[in-house]
Amino acid sequence: MSATPIVGIIMGSNSDWPTMKAAAKVLEDFGVPFEARVVSAHRTPDLMYEYAESARSRGLQAIIAGAGGAAHLPGMVAAKTTVPVLGVPVQSKALSGQDSLLSIVQMPKGIPVATFAIGEAGAANAGLFAVALLANNDAALADKLEAFRARQTQAVLDMTLD
């Protein structure tokens, strides 16, 4: 997207992208300018600090951070910025994402990370949550969110069974 990003999507590896794309798709659908990049807590720690430290001054209003395994990226980013961090546990091979979930959700008191479901559903919901945050100060976006909910409700009401 060409407009200045107001949401950052970061992830520990490009292997997380198939999951994190679900967040990107939501932001795209709602017309929210975002950026997406790989930032690893343990493999590019200096980049992670720089990303987190510059986030607010660059205009980011939310950071969606996805990682798998010992998923410390969301918590460490949250430690270095007051921009809200939305954590997405990526499904890991060894423990199916339970490790990612617990690593992200069990933040000690003082540094919050809003934690979502494991995998694609969590990534999509993190995107929707970012939209909801932004909609607090953007009436047009709030209308789009209401319309999305109405379409979703109607789709269920229209469901048929054979």
Q: Where are the alpha helices (DSSP H) in the chain?
A: 17-29, 45-55, 73-79, 98-105, 120-135, 139-157
Pick from 8, 10, 23: which is nearest to 59 by CA?
Answer: 8
User: Which residue from 7, 9, 55, 69 is in contact with ligand RP5, where contact means CB under 6 A?
Assistant: 69
- By CB under 6 A, tell whether 54 contacts ligand RP5: no
Looking at beta carbons only, is 20 or 26 nearer to ligand RP5? 20
Residues binding ligand RP5: what is the number (CB under 6 A)?
10
Stretch that binds ligand RP5, among 23-31, 57-65, 67-75, 125-133 (CB under 6 A): 67-75
From edge to edge, which strands make up the β-sheet containing 62-68?
A: 34-38, 7-11, 62-68, 85-90, 114-115
Stretch that binds ligand RP5, among 8-16, 25-33, 116-124, 138-146 (CB under 6 A): 8-16
- How far is it, in rounded angstroms, from Cα 154 to Cα 150? 6
Whether residue 22 contacts residue 127, with contact meaning beta carbons closer than 8 Å, is answered with yes
**Per-residue x/- mask for ligand RP5, residues 14 to 33, rule CB under 6 A?**
-xx-----------------
- By CB under 6 A, tell whether 12 contacts ligand RP5: yes
- By CB under 6 A, tell whether 89 contacts ligand RP5: no
Q: Binding site for substrate: residue ranges?
A: 13, 16, 43
